[in-house]
Amino acid sequence: MESPQITVVYLARRGGGYDITTVRNFFRSYNKYKAGIGHELIVISKGWEGFGEEFSKLEFLSKKEKFVLVNFPDEGFDIGSYIKILPYVRTKYVFFLGTSSEIVSDNWLRIFYKAMAKDTSLKLLGCSGSWESLEQSFKQCVSGISKSFPRKKRLERFKAIKEFFFRTIIPSIGLKRSIQFIFKPISFPNYFVRTNAFMIEKELFSSYASRIKFPRKIHHVNLIEHGKDSLTRYILSSGYKVAVIGKRSRLSYPEDWFKDGVYQSPYQDKFLLVQDKRTRIYSSEKLENQKTLERFCWGVSYDRFNSIREEK
Q: What is the pLDDT of residues 5-58, one digit of tens each?
A: 999 999 999 998 999 999 999 999 999 999 999 999 999 999 998 888 999 999
* Residue range 188-219, pLDDT digits in tens: 789 999 999 999 999 999 999 999 989 888 77
- Distance spanning both ends of the chain, measured CA to CA: 48
Q: Are residues 153 and 250 in the same domain?
A: no
Task: List the CATH number of the domain containing 17.
Answer: 3.90.550.10
Co-location of 223 and 176 in the same domain? no
Classify 102 as helix, strand or coil.
strand
In angstroms, the CA 238 to CA 229 distance is 12
Mark whether 25 and 100 lie in a shared domain.
yes
Say which amino acid occupies 167.
R
What crossing angle do the helices spanning 170-183 and 218-226 adopt, rounded to 10°?
50
Domain identity same for 23 and 95 = yes
Query: Is residue 312 assigned to a domain?
Result: no
Q: What angle (nearest 5°) sits at the alpha carbon of residue 174, between those of residues 169 and 175? A: 90
Q: What is the pLDDT along the chain (312 residues), one digit of tens a residue?
A: 455 799 999 999 999 899 999 999 999 999 999 999 999 999 999 999 888 899 999 999 999 988 999 999 999 999 999 999 999 999 999 999 999 999 999 999 999 999 999 999 999 999 999 998 765 655 655 565 556 666 666 677 667 656 656 666 556 555 555 555 554 556 778 999 999 999 999 999 999 999 998 988 877 887 888 888 899 999 999 999 999 999 999 999 999 999 999 999 988 999 999 999 999 999 998 888 888 888 888 875 445 445 444 444
Mark whether 36 and 75 lie in a shared domain: yes
Residue 274 forms part of a structural domain: yes
Give the pairing of strands 197-201 and 93-97. Answer: antiparallel
196 & 78 share domain: yes
Q: 77 is in which domain, residue-wise?
A: 6-131+190-307
Residue 1 lies in a domain: no
Whether the CB-CB separation of 264 and 136 falls below 8 Å is answered with: no
Q: Is 307 exposed, middle or buried (0-12, 13-18, 19+ CB in 10 A)?
A: exposed
Question: Are both 123 and 23 inside the same structural domain?
Answer: yes
Q: Where are the alpha helices (DSSP H) in 184-237?
A: 202-209, 218-226, 231-237
Tally of domains in the chain: 2
Question: Is the same domain home to 275 and 167?
Answer: no
Q: Phi and psi dihedrals of 147, rounded to 5? A: -70, -20
pTM to 2 decimal places: 0.84
Query: CA of 172: how far to CAs of 55, 165, 178, 221, in Å?
Result: 31, 10, 9, 9
152 in a domain, yes or no?
yes
Helix (H, G, I), strand (E, B) or coil at 218: helix
Type of residue found at 159: K
Q: How long is the chain?
A: 312
